[in-house]
Structure formats: C-alpha cells, structure tokens
Structure 1
Amino acid sequence: MDRRSIIKNAGIAGVLAAGAAPAVHAQAALRWRLASSFPKSLDTIFGAADTFAKKVTEMSGGKFTITTHAAGELMPAFGVVDGVQNGTVEVAHTAPYYFHGKDEVFALGCAIPFGLNSRQMTAWMYEGNGLKLMREFYGKYNIVNFPGGNTGAQMGGWYRKEIKSVKDIKGLKFRVGGFAGRVIERMGGVPQNIPGGEIYQALEKGTIDAAEWVGPYDDQKLGFNKVAPFYYYPGWWEGGPQLDFFINDKAYASLSAENKVIVECAAAFAHTEMQAKYDAKNPNALKQLVGAKVKVLPFPKDVMDLAFKESMALYAEVGAKNENWRKVYADYSAFRKDQNLWFRFTEARFDSFMQAQKL
C-alpha cells in the first residue's frame, strides 16, 4: 500500500499499528557550564557571559542551556584556561592576556601595549587572519575561541600619588592586567596581577600603590575613587582589549551543526553588546567621578614615550625567542600599520574635530 495513503486514511493510530511511521528521535537537552574570570557585580563584563548564555537558550528553544558562574564559584579567576583545557567546564569567559605567562601569544588575542583599538581588533579577527591564527594557537590548549566582547580604549588607572614623570613609575606597585606588566617592569615599576574582585582591598590597604581596571563605569562600581584620588589616561596598554569565550574543543566538536551556529551567533551578539554598554555608561560615570573631586589627568609625555619604546623593544625580544609570537605578531603588526594609516585620514581627524566642537 502507498505510504501516503496509509497516513491519510488510517490516521496516527493506524500508522503506528501498521509500523509505517518513521522513527522519531527526541533530541536530548544539552547543558553546559561557563566559568568567568569576573565578579557578578560587574554587569558589563560579567554580563557578556549572561548575554551569551541567554541567547543560546533562546535560539535553541531551551534545548541548549549554559549556566554562568562568577570567578571563584567553580574555579579561581585565573584558573579558567586550565578548566577548559582539561574539560572541567565546557566554556570560559575571560581576558586572554591574563595567561601570557603560559605563552605571550595569549596577549595578542586580547590586547598588547600600543596595539589595535577595538574596531581594528574586530576587523583583524573577522576579516583579517586573527581568528584563524589564534585558533591555530589555542588548539594547543584544546580550545576553540570566539570573540566575546571588548571594552574599548581603557583608562590608565588609579594612583595614590600623582605621576609627574617617569621617575614616579620607579618602584610603583601597580596592579595591571596582562602583558602590560612586562612593560611596567622595564620602566622600573612592580607589576601585580590581581583579580578584579580583590583590587579595592589591596589599594585601600596600601599593598599596591596604583591599579587599573577598565573605565569610569566599572571603576566607580568598584569604588577605587575612595582610596586613590588620581585617575590617569589613556590606558596605553589596552587600546581595544578583546574578551573571549574559550570552548573545550571536544565539547564544541560534539555539537550539532545547528548548535555550532547558535554558539557563533550568541558570541557575536555578546561581543557587540559589551562595548555598546561601556560606550553608553562611561560618560555619565566620568561626570560623577569628576563631580566627586577625582583628579583626571593625562600621563606625562615622557611616560608615554618610554612606555612605547620599551613595548617595541619587548616585542622584538619575545619574537627572537618565541616562534608562536613571531608568526602571529608579524600578521598583527602588518594589519595594525594599515589600519592606523586608514584611521589617520578618517576616524582620528573626524573625532578630533568633533570633540573640539564640544557639542
């Protein structure tokens, strides 16, 4: 008998009785865990993980869920790469440069002093060779990465004492994230790598002399202005720091084609939303900090000049020893050169004119 005829005349009960129905396989619900390097109090940077998880749930119709866990809940803030590499968790959300001690190339996936700005970083990742090169590198750690947010150019941090020249960097105990610590050390400072949730206490007690985090919105939430009155700019070590979602390669490979696309799209949404939040929230927070008598100051020129000189020297030294760095940085630096040429004629000129109008 014709199969369509059976279905039309016998109905579902008849089809089942005739054994003519195709096998139906219910898709099992999928649940992952995400470990963040950030505290939940920061709705911008931790919020990107929540956004990612929410979009995965929505796009999968609730069949694929991800629970998000703040730093310290499942593992320490700086333990998330090991957690993903070992398969303890399926996903981490972090700033890759925290792990430059494993290999300096981690910093290139996030931010290096005098590196790409946020738009340039996104362009390198999606339209340049960035994503390809970084995935080749992260594969050594069982990781598949997706861009997971950017703060935009950051502030230069909070200081208990005024920075009048490079002499004031000497001996300065400075909490600074990522690769920048290597440059600060070359300038005579003493870098400290402290998770975001622990910075205030260290600054308050004088364990450190200065600290940087992100910018006005987050910094105000963390209360740094209460314990350090001088707020410097710019964060020359973080012109466009990119966060990443690190996914265990076996967990990712086990996903259906549909779920892989869902992960990609959810990450891209979170990536865009994070900087939108920072750009929208930072101006008012800065006004409030100025109103609270915070002294907002530019770094002296000799500090900027020495920082640039030492950064370039450091990259040459790392490249002489680290083949991974040499390969990725060659592409990164060539892309940066072209981007800065283009931005000089467009973005920079337009921005400087508009800012002078004080609209």
Structure 2
Amino acid sequence: MLSLPLEERIKKLLCEGPPVHRFSFLKHFALDCCDEEFLQVLQKHALLVQGLWAPKSSLLLLEDGESSLVRDYLLLLFSENSTISESDLLSNIPTNLRKKMEVFLDAFAVKRSSFKFTGWKFKEPADASFIKRYPKIVDAQKEVWNSIEKNLKKYIGGKKRGPRERNADPKPIITGTPGKTVNPTGTLMKNAIGVSSGRKTMSEETREALPKALTKVFLTHKVCSFQLICQGLRQLAISQSTLPKADARMVVAAAYGVDAPSEELHEIINQVATNIHGLFVLKSSPEHPEYDPLRKVVIDLLRGGSPDVKLKKANVFQAAKEVLKRDISINEYNKVMNDICVSKGSAWVLKSGDGNPT
C-alpha cells in the first residue's frame, strides 16, 4: 500500500474500506506528505459528509447512472443533517429507484422508528475535530455540494424536505475563526475526540469488528500496552489492505476505534484481554486454548503481585495444583510462560508490552 503513488493510495483506501472514512485514518497512510497536498488529492476523489470522507460515485464505477444519482442524493441529505425522514425520501425519490435507495441506506445509515420520527440516522458520528481544524475545506465542500444539488434537481429531490428528527444534532456553522465551530445556539462545539457527550461515538460496525482485529494484534504482540494496541490496529489495516474486501473492511473499520474516546476502546479491549498493571494479555490463547486454565492461573499470579513481580517455577506449579486440582505438565507450563513472560535468570517476568521480545 505505502509503495503506491499518493493518488493511487487514496483511491484504493476509499474503494476498499468502509462507506465513509475519517481524515486521521486516511492520513496515517500518507505520513510522507503534508496535509495540504493530501487534502488536494483527497478532494479529487471524495466528498465531505459530516466531517467524514465518502468516495465519489464516479470512483466506485457503479453499475448505472441511476445508482449514482440515488447515492449522491442520499449523501447530499446526510451532508446537511445526520438524519433523514422517511417522508422526505418517499416524496423525493421515484418508486422505481427505491430499491437502489435501500441498498445505499443500509450502507450509510440505521433505521429509526418512533412516535415522533421515522427515518434513518447516519451510522458514523460526525468528525467534529476535522470540521474545527479545516474550516476552509468545509466551506469548499459546501460549494461542491451546492453544485451537485443543482444537477440532482433535474432528476431527483425537487420537493421541499420535511422536518428533522427533534433530537438530531444541529448542523455546524463554520465561523471565520480557524479552529472554532458553533452550532445554531452559538455555543462552541466540543471536540468529538476524547470528550464525553453522553453517547457512544464508536459506530456499531467498529464495535463489532474490534474483537476480531484485536485478536490479530495480540497474535503478533502477545503482551501490549494501550499505545501498542493502537499502533497495531493501524498497521493491521495497512498490512491486510490487499485482502478480499469483506475482511479488509473489517480491519479498516476496527482501526477507526483508535480515533474513538479511549474509554470506549478500553471497553472493547477489556472484553478480550486482561489488564495486568497497565499491560494487556488475551484472556484466551487462539493458538493453544487447551492451556487457558493454566493461563488464567499465571495471569492471576501476575496481577496479584507488584508490577515487577517475578514468578518462580515452583510457585506456578503449586498455584496450578491448588486451583486446577491436578499436576500440570512441563509442556503446558512452557507454552503458557513463553507466551506472556520472559525468563530472567531463574524466574519469569511479564513481557514489556512495547513490541520488543523481552
């Protein structure tokens, strides 16, 4: 991936990843160029929607012109608001195009039905950090959407749009001051990264993809710090970007977890791994699950001691006999200890978690 020219790299990422992309994730694949150069190329092939980047329909080589029209119309609506009412769509999209509409809605949004609102909500939370950091790009993209809307009106979406969902997020208004974004009430919009807003900012797609991706990271690094996990998720997306689309999409979606608030990523990590004094170890070994009972014994011994605790062979054998009610074999002992520890003289200590073997 990194060996490709910048433009080809961007096109490949846009086409093979999820429906929309965060700038911070895309830019990770182009650390060799400045933001200005990267954004110039990115805007040739993608459109800004809620601070995220969606590939242009022309780049995706859709099966027909009608599919492009429907997709562009839905993205136009989502660029203006994170929700679309069902009445808007039914009144503006011709009956013969509604099957195509459903395909793209499934990709971009989730259905919501209540007494006050029936429609669709954009799956991914807005990237407020990008909106705040690049107001000129946001303004330029508004002009692009205005041009697209004029063209779309010839074929679709000519009727007045209905009411929004009452609790929908207000559309940001870009001020003349770089780095500041206000909503219609005039209050500053908080940065979506690292600020608790009372709702999850990690998409369901990412939450579902992370456990599998995390397991892949732990297969490479048996013991990980939080920083190494984040690095591993991004590297995984790079190394596996040539896989079939379904699997590659899983990896890219999981890498988005790195941009979510850290407490949300920690929540998913804790589902598959155990925290040992700030370092993480898989609860179950994908390679040797038959040794998981002994693995848990060793993990408990490490957690019960100080951060620099040293485990002696006799201590492990004794603890295993008490907990497992049997004598363990030398083979399973060596498998478990070598997996998460390193030998220091006559004792074992937890691996460093920094990616190094010791």
| TM-score, length of structure 1 as denominator length | 0.24
